[in-house]
C-alpha cells in the first residue's frame, strides 16, 4: 500500500515537473514569438511571405500601414492581386513575372512607384527572394520593399542643383575651374573647354601641364599653393596664350573646405582683361603723349612769347629811331616804308599775343557755373559802343539767357562773336546785332532735344558759305585786312571754348547780307 502510494506520488511529481517544464517552454516560446512579432511588425521594411504559387501567407505591418489596407485583404490571395499594385495592369504583370523568376531560384530586385494611403506615389525598392529548405528545394518566396523616395528625391535634387550650377558656370564669360590640392582638375566650365580645346569628361583629372607650358603651369600652381597655404582668397593676374595670342586674366582663387574644415579644392574664376589692359595701355600712352605735347606746347608758347618778340622790338625800335634821327635824309616814301615796317612788326606782335591767348585757353581747367549770358552780352555791347561812340548799332539781346559754363571763357566767346558782328557791320547802313537762343531743330542741325542753341546774328558783310569749313581755323581770314582788320584768331578761339564746354558751333552767312553764328554749350 505504502509503495503503491509512493509510486503514485512520484508519478504525480514527475508529471507536475513535466507540466512545469512544458509551461516554461510554452512561456518561453510565447515570449519568443511575441518578440519576433514585435520585430516583424515594427520593422521599417515591408516584408511578406509567399508560397511558391504566389499566395501571400504572411505580411508585416509596414506595407499595410503604408497603403492603409487590412491583412485580410492580402492574406490567402495571389501577391500580384494585392491592392499595392492596382495602379496599373503593367505593374501587376511585372510583379507576376518577377515572382516567376524568383520561384526558379533567382533574386529579383527593382524600383517601382506605388501609391501610399494618401494616394501619393512613393518609390519602393522591391526585392523578391526565394527561400530553400535543407534539401535545397524552394519552399517560400519572400517579397521585401523599402521606401526610398526621400533618398531618390534628394539625389534628384542634387543632380538638378548640379545641372543648374553647371549651366550657370557654362554661360559665364569667365573661365571657372576647380582643382584638388594635387592640381588635378575636378570641374571646368564651357569657357575653359573652348579656350583650351578640351572636353570635360576626358579632361577632368588632368593638370595644368596638360594644357599650358611648364612655365605657365608653374605659375598657376604657385598661385594655387598660395591659396592653400593662406587658407583665404587671393586675386592675381595671370597670363596665358590662346589661339589669338597672349591673354591677360584677373583670377580670383579661393579654397573650398569639406565638413571637417579641410581644403579639398581650389576654385578659380578668371576674367579676361586683355582688352581692358590694351585699352588701359592705349589710354596711358595717349595721356603720356598729350602730356608731352602739352609740355612741348608750353615750352613753345613760352619761347614764342619771349624770343619772337625780341626781334620785333628791334625792327620797330630802330625804324622809329631812323624816323626820329634821320628824317632829314629820308624822303616821304622812305619814311612811309619805315612806318610800314613798324606797322608790320606791331601786327605780328598782336598775332603772337592772340596766338598765346588761344593756346592758354586750352591749358586751364574750366570752371562750370551758372552764367547770365544776357548780362555778358549787354556788357560787351556797352564796351563796344564806348570804344566807338560814333557808331550807331541796334542791339537786340534776349533777356535771361542763363547757361552752365566758365564765365571767363564765355565772356571771351561772346566778346569774339559780338565783336566780329560789330566789326563786320562797320559798313552796313543800319547795323543790327542780335543775340538770342532757339530750340535745336531751328538751328538747322539736329542736336539733343531741348538743348538751347544760342546765336549771334548780324546784317553785316556776311561770308560765302563755300568757305564755311575755313571759318574756325586759326589765322583763317575770309576778308581782306584793308576791309576788316583782324588776326584770324577770333573764331578759332570761339571754337576752342565751345569744344571745351562740350558743345558745337557753326555759322551761316550770305555775302553782303550778314552772318549768324550758332553755338551750344554741351550737356
* Binding positions for another protein, rule: CB under 8 A: 301-302, 305-307, 309-310, 312-314, 316-321, 342, 345-346, 348-349, 353, 356
Distance CA 457, CA 445 (A): 17
CB atoms within 10 A of CB 71: 13
Collect contacts of 46-49 with beta carbons under 8 A, ≥24 apart.
46/124, 46/143, 46/144, 46/145, 46/146, 47/142, 47/143, 47/144, 48/74, 48/79, 48/142, 48/143, 48/144, 49/140, 49/141, 49/142
Contact 86, 74 (CB under 8 A): no
Distance CA 491, CA 248 (A): 47
Distance of CA 139 to the CA centre of its chain: 71
Please provide the DSSP assignment of 365-409 as one string.
PP--EEEEHHHHHHHHHHHHHHH-TT--EEEEE-S--EEEE-HHH
Q: Which of 439, 373, 440 is nearest to 401 (CA)?
A: 373
Contact 51, 140 (CB under 8 A): yes
In this structure, the dihedral spanned by the alpha carbons of residues 73, 74, 75 and 78, taken in order and rounded to 10 degrees, is: 130
Cβ-based nearer residue to another protein, 120 or 360: 360
Burial 184-218, CB ≥16 within 10 A → b, else e = ebebbbbbbeebbebeeeebeeebbeebbeeebbe
Contact 223, 251 (CB under 8 A): yes
Contact 145, 122 (CB under 8 A): no
Cβ-based nearer residue to another protein, 349 or 486: 349
Grid cell, residue 283, equals 589710354
Amino acid at each position: 500500500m505504502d509503495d503503491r502510494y509512493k509510486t503514485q506520488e512520484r508519478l504525480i511529481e514527475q508529471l507536475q515537473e513535466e507540466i512545469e517544464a512544458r509551461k516554461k517552454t510554452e512561456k518561453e516560446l510565447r515570449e519568443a514569438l511575441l518578440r519576433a512579432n514585435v520585430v516583424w511588425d515594427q520593422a521599417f521594411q515591408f516584408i511578406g511571405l509567399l508560397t511558391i504559387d504566389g499566395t501571400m501567407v504572411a505580411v508585416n505591418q509596414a506595407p499595410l500601414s503604408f497603403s492603409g489596407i487590412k491583412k485580410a485583404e492580402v492574406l490567402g490571395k495571389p501577391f500580384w492581386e494585392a491592392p499595392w499594385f492596382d495602379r496599373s495592369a503593367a505593374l501587376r504583370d511585372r510583379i507576376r513575372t518577377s515572382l516567376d523568376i524568383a520561384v526558379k531560384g533567382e533574386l529579383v530586385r527593382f524600383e517601382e512607384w506605388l501609391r501610399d494611403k494618401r494616394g501619393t506615389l512613393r518609390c519602393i525598392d522591391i526585392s523578391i527572394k526565394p527561400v530553400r529548405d535543407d534539401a535545397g528545394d524552394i519552399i517560400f518566396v519572400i517579397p521585401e520593399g523599402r521606401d526610398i523616395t526621400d533618398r531618390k528625391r534628394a539625389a534628384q535634387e542634387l543632380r538638378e542643383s548640379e545641372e543648374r550650377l553647371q549651366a550657370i558656370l557654362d554661360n559665364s564669360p569667365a573661365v571657372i575651374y576647380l582643382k584638388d590640392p594635387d592640381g588635378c582638375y575636378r570641374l571646368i566650365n564651357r569657357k575653359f573647354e573652348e579656350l583650351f580645346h578640351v572636353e570635360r569628361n576626358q579632361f577632368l583629372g588632368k593638370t595644368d601641364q596638360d594644357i599650358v607650358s611648364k612655365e605657365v603651369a608653374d605659375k598657376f600652381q604657385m598661385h594655387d599653393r598660395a591659396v592653400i597655404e593662406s587658407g583665404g582668397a587671393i586675386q592675381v593676374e595671370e597670363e596665358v596664350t590662346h589661339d589669338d595670342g597672349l591673354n591677360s586674366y584677373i583670377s580670383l582663387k579661393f579654397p573650398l573646405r569639406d565638413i571637417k574644415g579641410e581644403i579639398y579644392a581650389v576654385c578659380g574664376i578668371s576674367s579676361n582683361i586683355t582688352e581692358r589692359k590694351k585699352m588701359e595701355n592705349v589710354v596711358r600712352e595717349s595721356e603720356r603723349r598729350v602730356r608731352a605735347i602739352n609740355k612741348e606746347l608750353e615750352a613753345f608758347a613760352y619761347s614764342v612769347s619771349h624770343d619772337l618778340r625780341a626781334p620785333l622790338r628791334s625792327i620797330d625800335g630802330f625804324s622809329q629811331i631812323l624816323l626820329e634821327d634821320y628824317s632829314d635824309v629820308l624822303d616821304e616814301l622812305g619814311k612811309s616804308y619805315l612806318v610800314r615796317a613798324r606797322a608790320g612788326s606791331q601786327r605780328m606782335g598782336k598775332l603772337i599775343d592772340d596766338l598765346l591767348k588761344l593756346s592758354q585757353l586750352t591749358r586751364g581747367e574750366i570752371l562750370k557755373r551758372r552764367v547770365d549770358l544776357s548780362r555778358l552780352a549787354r556788357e560787351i555791347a556797352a564796351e563796344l559802343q564806348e570804344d566807338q561812340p560814333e557808331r550807331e548799332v541796334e542791339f537786340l539781346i534776349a533777356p535771361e539767357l542763363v547757361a552752365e559754363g566758365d564765365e571767363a571763357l564765355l565772356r571771351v566767346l561772346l566778346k569774339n562773336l559780338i565783336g566780329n558782328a560789330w566789326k563786320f557791320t562797320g559798313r552796313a547802313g543800319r547795323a543790327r546785332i542780335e543775340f538770342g537762343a532757339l530750340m535745336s531743330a531751328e538751328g538747322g542741325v539736329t542736336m539733343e532735344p531741348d538743348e538751347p542753341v544760342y546765336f549771334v546774328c548780324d546784317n553785316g558783310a556776311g561770308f560765302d558759305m563755300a568757305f564755311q569749313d575755313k571759318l574756325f581755323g586759326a589765322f583763317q581770314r575770309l576778308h581782306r585786312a584793308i576791309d576788316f582788320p583782324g588776326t584770324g584768331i577770333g573764331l578759332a578761339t570761339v571754337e576752342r571754348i565751345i569744344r571745351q564746354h562740350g558743345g558745337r558751333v557753326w555759322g551761316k552767312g550770305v555775302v553782303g547780307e550778314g552772318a549768324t553764328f550758332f553755338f551750344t554749350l554741351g550737356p
